[in-house]
């Protein structure tokens, strides 16, 4: 394995927004396009050498290829460890959780959120800082400035890493740790909510759920938490296998694109509670039997009853601008 320094030229369109850099897959597949942006991220940071980076994505087309590129660039730039999600899967909330849980320096999320996936659809990359949140404007502006003047990037000449086997492998001086995508996030949820009371409700048969993961990132989380840990019957989760093209669907949880869930919930014998989530797992739609819950109402209900939840028994420190985000 050897570190290569590759000459390159800037791309003029690599200005990230609050949701990172989003472009079509063919644009990201241009020679050096992703390489330039990743190197620009690293060049704009200080003090990351030897530190831990968290990495994963929503499973869309080009996710696995992008992860291999990022791992090799990280190895060439002196990162100490990368925690990468099993099969390359890691939701946006889980990425934040893992960053905070292990005091990582930061993280990279590969997603275009609710945009469609596929060879001619969308892809995205965003950097999260050490508090688990998205990079602030100061950081994104520095990344963009660097992307406009970059002349070379460093990459390790090495075989691809096995993303399908849990455990550690060495990539030059970098330790690549393939982690369970769900475990840390599930542990966090269990520390906040009364899982035993929820399990008693769901296993009683008196309260039925339907969870539509829309063949996006939340499928493994929904299967593990709702069906396996909380006792909901098998089949509660729909679209639970992440697919590169989201099964040909549009992973935007609304009444139009989650119409299959809407039809189920508006049947006379429909479940009591329904939910759908978006591509990277940070937005949702809530339904009851024969009714739709506006996102602002979801937030109001949660805020009004927050003290009933063990993790928030002392009250809320603040409230986000909307329930989905």
Residue 96: active-site member: no
Which residue among the candidates 91, 96, 111, 113 is catalytic per the annotation?
A: 113
140 Cβ partners below 8 Å, 6+ apart?
15, 16, 17, 18, 127
Measured distance CA(101)–CA(26) in Å, rounded: 35
| C-beta separation of 213 from 240 below 8 A | yes
Phi, psi of 312 (to 5 degrees): -125, 25
Measured distance CA(306)–CA(182) in Å, rounded: 24
Tokens of 16: 């990230």
* Alpha-carbon torsion angle 278, 125, 128, 17, nearest 10: -90
Measured distance CA(104)–CA(21) in Å, rounded: 22
Give SS3 for 111: coil
| C-beta separation of 116 from 61 below 8 A | no
Q: Of 59, 98, 69, 62, which is closest to residue 280 (Cα–Cα)?
A: 59
What is each CA distance from 270 to 53, 72, 288, 290, 297, in whole angstroms?
Answer: 43, 49, 9, 8, 21
Provide the annotated active-site residues: 113
């Amino acid at each position: 394995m050897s570190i290569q320094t590759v000459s390159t030229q800037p791309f003029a369109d690599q200005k990230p927004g609050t949701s990172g850099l989003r472009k079509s897959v063919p644009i990201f597949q241009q020679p050096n396009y992703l390489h330039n942006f990743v190197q620009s991220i690293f060049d704009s940071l200080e003090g990351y050498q030897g530190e831990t980076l968290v990495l994963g994505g929503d499973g869309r087309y080009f996710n696995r290829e992008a992860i291999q590129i990022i791992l090799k660039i990280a190895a060439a730039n002196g990162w100490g460890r990368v925690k990468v999600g099993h099969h390359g899967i890691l939701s946006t909330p889980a990425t934040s959780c893992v960053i905070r849980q292990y005091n990582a320096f930061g993280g990279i999320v590969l997603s275009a959120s609710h945009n469609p996936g596929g060879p001619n659809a969308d892809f995205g990359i965003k950097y999260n800082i050490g508090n688990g949140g998205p990079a602030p404007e100061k950081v994104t502006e520095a990344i963009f400035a660097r992307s406009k003047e970059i002349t070379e990037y460093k990459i390790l000449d090495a075989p691809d890493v096995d993303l399908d086997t849990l455990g550690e492998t060495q990539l030059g001086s970098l330790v690549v740790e393939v982690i369970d995508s769900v475990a840390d996030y599930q542990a966090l949820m269990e520390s906040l909510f009364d899982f035993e009371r929820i399990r008693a409700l769901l296993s009683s048969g008196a309260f039925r759920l339907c969870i539509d993961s829309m063949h996006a990132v939340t499928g493994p989380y929904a299967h593990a938490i709702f069906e396996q840990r909380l006792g909901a019957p098998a089949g509660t989760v729909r679209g639970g296998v992440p697919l590169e093209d989201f099964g040909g669907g549009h992973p935007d949880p609304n009444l139009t694109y989650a119409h299959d869930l809407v039809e189920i919930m508006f049947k006379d014998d429909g479940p009591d509670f329904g939910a759908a989530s978006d591509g990277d797992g940070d937005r949702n739609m809530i339904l009851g039997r024969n009714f739709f819950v506006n996102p602002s109402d979801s937030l109001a209900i949660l805020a009004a009853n927050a003290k009933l939840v063990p993790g928030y028994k002392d009250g809320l420190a603040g409230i986000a601008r909307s329930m989905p985000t």
